Amino acid sequence: FINQQQIQRIRMHSITDVNKPLWDQSTFWGRLRHFAWLTDPRSVFASRAKLEASRDLILACRSGAVDPRTVPEAELIRAKQLFESAYHPDSGELQNLVGRMSFQVPGGMALTGALMAFYRTTAQVVFWQWVNQSFNALVNYTNRNANSGITSQQLMIAYTSATGSAIAVSLGLKAFLAKRAPPFAQRFVPFVAVAAANLVNLPLMRQAELLQGVQVKDENGNQVGTSRYAACKGIGQVVTSRITIAAPGMLVTPFIMDRLETARWFARRRAVLDAPLQTLFIGSFLLFMVPTGCAIFPQNSSVSLQQLKRFDEPEYAKLKARGYSDGQKLYFNKGL
């Protein structure tokens, strides 16, 4: 996962505190490097035993049972990478493989490639939108702020609503464009459906956060309350990130494929090459866009008491009564 040259570059950052990221998270470049490292798709091949060993080492360092300075640098960095890519930052639970952000490139390229290749018939649209939204629902649930609970009934309503909305948008837009636009325009139906579904899927899968609020902490990491406005802000940021991740591949690939289809060699082999090539193009975009989308906003997002005064007055009143000032910032995990 990490070679000696990368370790040498990381050495300028302190790794004596395993709770801190290796790169400065206050800058986009630092976050981009962090998420490129965290979402490395090769980490999905790590065995359960390796993941558990990495967890045990990091937790031992956190508790003080092991001094990080006594652990070989490469071993500590690899353990930190595996632990943070596979275990939820709030609950500490091992995330399911499909829902991990490190699975976004292989999983996303396969499903998005299928969405882009199979859009011509109603059956294809319904099936692949259902599969894709099932995948998205699992990813959204896995990467939620785990301090807010959600019932099985809420999960089922969220899942069916998000899947239904994606299928409805796909079929409606496909029918609309079939009568009013050239066939090429229909290539963009999957992106519009994915964007629309994200607007529905994420808030519904994380509705407990919107209803109950998420934990907000002070600069020392102490929990000081819960805020529904913080939940709204975090989910809005994640929706923006998810659409940003999908946009380049799903908007550029149709132009590439349209150009390829004019080539005689491709026309003769279209049935065989269409889906694999679109999947390859989508995967190439996702390799860069997954960390880029995740890096747009800080993982530990912030709200000020002044914002709570405007959008979450009950929580603001509680914090003011405890002596917090209007200019003070509070922090929360926005999820991924």
Per-residue pLDDT, 50? 93
Nearest to residue 285, comparing CAs of 134, 103, 109?
109
Quick one: pLDDT band at residue 32, thresholds 50, 70, 90?
Answer: very high
User: Average pLDDT for residues 167-188, to the nearest whole number?
Assistant: 77
Q: What percent of the chain has pLDDT over 70?
A: 92
pLDDT at 58 over 80: yes
Token match 């699975």: residue? Answer: 103
Q: Tokens at residue 60, please?
A: 């031992």
Most confident of 127-131, 263-267, 291-295: 291-295
Complete DSSP assignment for 245-303: HHHHHHHHHHHHHHHHTTSHHHHHTHHHHHHHHHHHHHHHHHHHHHHHHHHSS-SEEEE
Contact at 8 Å (CB) between 266 and 273? yes
Contact at 8 Å (CB) between 34 and 89? no
Q: Quick check: helix, strand or coil at residue 335? A: coil
Q: Give the least confident one: 49-58, 150-159, 188-197, 311-320.
A: 150-159
User: Average pLDDT for residues 75-91, to the nearest whole number?
Assistant: 88
Contact at 8 Å (CB) between 142 and 102? no
pLDDT at 295 over 70: yes
CA dihedral 9, 14, 18, 22 (to 10 degrees): -40
Per-residue pLDDT, 13? 44
pLDDT at 10 over 70: no
- Residues 114, 130: Cα–Cα separation, whole Å: 12
Q: Bigger pLDDT: 144 or 228?
A: 228
Per-residue pLDDT, 122? 80
pLDDT at 6 over 80: no
Q: What is the mean pLDDT of the chain?
A: 82
Q: Which sequence spans correspond to the domains of the chain? A: 4-87, 101-208+228-287
Tens of pLDDT, residues 102-134: 888 888 888 888 877 787 778 888 888 888 878
